[in-house]
A and B are shown apart, each in its own frame.
Chain A
C-alpha cells in the first residue's frame, strides 16, 4: 500500500477539520443509469467522530501550503507544520473508492492558497470536473470558492459542485484585518455575490427553459469563527441574518475557536466556547425554521445570548404578555414560539386538533416537552395556568437542574 498517500491523507484531513460544514443535504442531483452516487434529498452521516461531529463527506485540503498568514488558521505560512499536497488523481481515487464502500456521501474539497488564487481554484475545479465527467460521479461535491479567483473559474465550479462556500471566518472586517492582514471583506464578498447572482439567474432560467443545467443546486454556505475576536452575539446574528436575507445563503456555520494557535494575535483560551456555539446554532434555527426575526432574539438591550437558557425560552420569558396561548386555537406560528414545542410537535398538534380537542396527556404523547411548555400554554383540560408567576421564578426552575452538568459539553442540536 502506498504509505505516502496515507500520510498525505492524515496531514490534509487534519488540516481541514476545523471547517465545520459537513452537510450533504439539499441538493437535487439524481443518478444516471450507469453512474455512481446519488445526492437527491436528505443527507446521511456515515460516522461520527469522538467529539460527536458527523462524518458525511471526505473532507480534505488539496494542499496545506499557503501564501497567507492568518492567525486563526493551522495552515498559516508562519506555522511550523508538515506540508503536503494531493495530486488530482489521488483525490479522485479516494473519493470514488470511499464512496463505493458506502463510507461517505461525497467530497468536501478546500485548499491552502499556493502560488495564487486562480492556480488553486483551477485545480479544485479540475477534480470536480473529472469526477463528474469521467467517473460519472453523482454524489455530493462541496468546493471552496477561493477569494480572489476569477469569476470564470467560480462559474465552472458551480457547474460541477453541489454546494460552494466562501468563509468569512471573522465576524467583522476590523477584526479580520487584525488577525489576517492579507485579507479583507471585499475579496470574500466578491465571489459570494457572484454566486448569489448566478444561482438566482440559473433558477430563473430553469423556470423558463427546463434543460438549463444545474448550478450549485445545494446553494452556498459560509463559516464564522466564534470567540477568537471580540464581536458579540448581536453582531454575529445580525451578520448571519444579513447573509440569509441578502446573500440567500443556505447555511451559516459557527465554529467555536479551538485554541490551536500560539500566535500572539489570538486570545489565549483554554476551552473552545462550545456552549456559546450551541446557543448561536439554536438562534440560527429560530431564524430559519421558527419564523423569528433576529431582533426578537437579540437586541441592544440583550446583545448576548443567555448561556444558561436556550434563546426561545429567553424570548418567552422576556415577553410574558404573549402567553399563555390555547393549544387548541392558536396559530401554527404562535405554537412554534412555545418553549418545549418543536417543528414536528407543532405540526402534529395542528393536524391532531382537527380530530378533537387536545388535552395534556395528548401533548405528552405527541412529544411536547411539558416541563418547559406547561408555563406557556393552556389546553382542553385547562389544568395549568402558571404564567401569573414571576418569569424570574420560571427561569430558575429551567436553569437549576442541569446548570452544573452542561458546563463544558457541547450540546446536541436536536
Chain B
C-alpha cells in the first residue's frame, strides 16, 4: 500500500502516524506530486494533521532525543528520492527498540540518515561561507543561492545572530523562495517574477554606489593573498567545487 502526503514535513509525520493508527505496513510513502500513475495501485492520500505530527515528534523525542528530532527534520530537507521511506523505517525501528538507536552506526538506516545529515551539514556550512551579499540602494543586503539541498530553513539562525542590525535577504533561485530579515524577525518570501534575480551583479540602478568598489577591492585582496609558488589546483577545487564559483565575486573574471 502506498501513502502520499502534501510534501511538507508535517505531512510526512502525519502519514507515518496514520500507519500506526491503521496498523498498516506501507510499501511506499512519498509526496503527492512525486506519485506516478499506475494501473495497479491507487495511493491513499493522508492530509496533514498538526496534532498527529506533533505526537510523532514527541514520541521521537522521548524514545531518542531532541538531537534525533532535528536529525530527521534536516534529513527531510535533503529532498532525496527515498527519504520519506528512510525516515519511516527509522521511526519504526526507534519505536520498537528499548534504547536510543540514533548512534547505532552498525545499522543501515541509521548510518544512511547520519550520512545524509553530514551532507546537509556540509551544504549549510558552505552557504554560511559562500553567501555573498550585495548592498542595494534601500540598504538591503541581498544574496542569491542555488543550494543542492533545501537548506534555506536552516540558514536563518546563523545570519540573524551575525547581522541583527542590517536588513538582509537570501533567495533560493532554484526553489523560488527566500528569507528576508527586517531588523525584527526573519520571514519567508517569494516573488511572482524572479527573472531579475541573478548571481551576477545586480542592475547598477538598484545597487548602492559603493557596492562595485567593495567587490573590486575584495577581488584584488583575493588575488594578492595567493602564493603562486604554492599553486595547487587540485586542493583548491576540493575546497571550492566549480558549481559554487557562481556565488563568488572574487572568482569572476570580469567586472
Contact = CB atoms under 8 A, between A and B. Distances in A.
B163 A36 contact: yes
Contacts of B223: 10
A351 B103 contact: yes
Contacts of B101: 355
B132 interface: yes
Contact of B214 (A30, A35, A97): A97
Interface stretch (B10-18, B78-86, B234-242): B234-242
B141 to A, nearest CB: 6
Given A38-B161, A100-B135, A101-B218, A45 B232 contact: no
Contacts of A2: 213
Q: What is the predominant secondary structure among interface residues of chain A facing chain B?
A: loop
B235 to A, nearest CB: 3
Contact of B231 (A46, A51, A55): A51
Contacts of A13: 221, 224-225
A111 to B, nearest CB: 17
Given A31-B161, A47-B248, A55 B132 contact: no
Contact of A51 (B165, B230, B248): B230
A58 B132 CA distance: 15
A362 B139 CA distance: 53
Contacts of A30: 161
Interface residues on chain A, size class: 35 or more
A44 B236 contact: no
B131 interface: yes
Contacts, number: 164
B92 interface: no
Contact of A272 (B220, B230, B248): B230
B190 to A, nearest CB: 22
Contacts of A45: 129, 239
Interface string A14-41: 1011100000000000111111111010
A103 B132 contact: yes
A406 B63 CA distance: 49
A31 to B, nearest CB: 6
Contacts of A17: 224-227
A50 B232 CA distance: 6
A258 interface: yes
A348 B114 CA distance: 11
Interface in A311-337: none
Contact of A31 (B131, B162, B212, B225): B162
Nearest to A51: B230
Among B129, B229, B230, B234, chain A packs the most CB atoms within 10 A around the CB of B230
Interface stretch (B1-9, B24-32, B41-49, B104-112): B104-112
B37 to A, nearest CB: 36
Nearest to B234: A409
Contact of A49 (B128, B131, B214, B226): B226
A268 interface: no
Nearest to A103: B218
A355 B133 contact: no
Nearest to B104: A355
Interface string B180-202: 00000000000000000000000
13 contacts: A6-B217, A9-B221, A32-B164, A36-B165, A47-B130, A48-B239, A52-B235, A55-B225, A352-B104, A356-B106, A365-B105, A366-B111, A409-B232
Interface of A: 1-2, 5-6, 9-10, 13-14, 16-18, 30-38, 40, 44-55, 58-59, 94, 97-98, 100-103, 136, 258-259, 271-272, 274, 348-349, 351-353, 355-356, 358, 362, 365-366, 409-410, 412
Given A14-B225, A348-B103, 12 more contacts: A1-B216, A30-B161, A44-B129, A47-B129, A49-B227, A51-B226, A52-B235, A100-B166, A352-B103, A365-B111, A366-B105, A366-B111
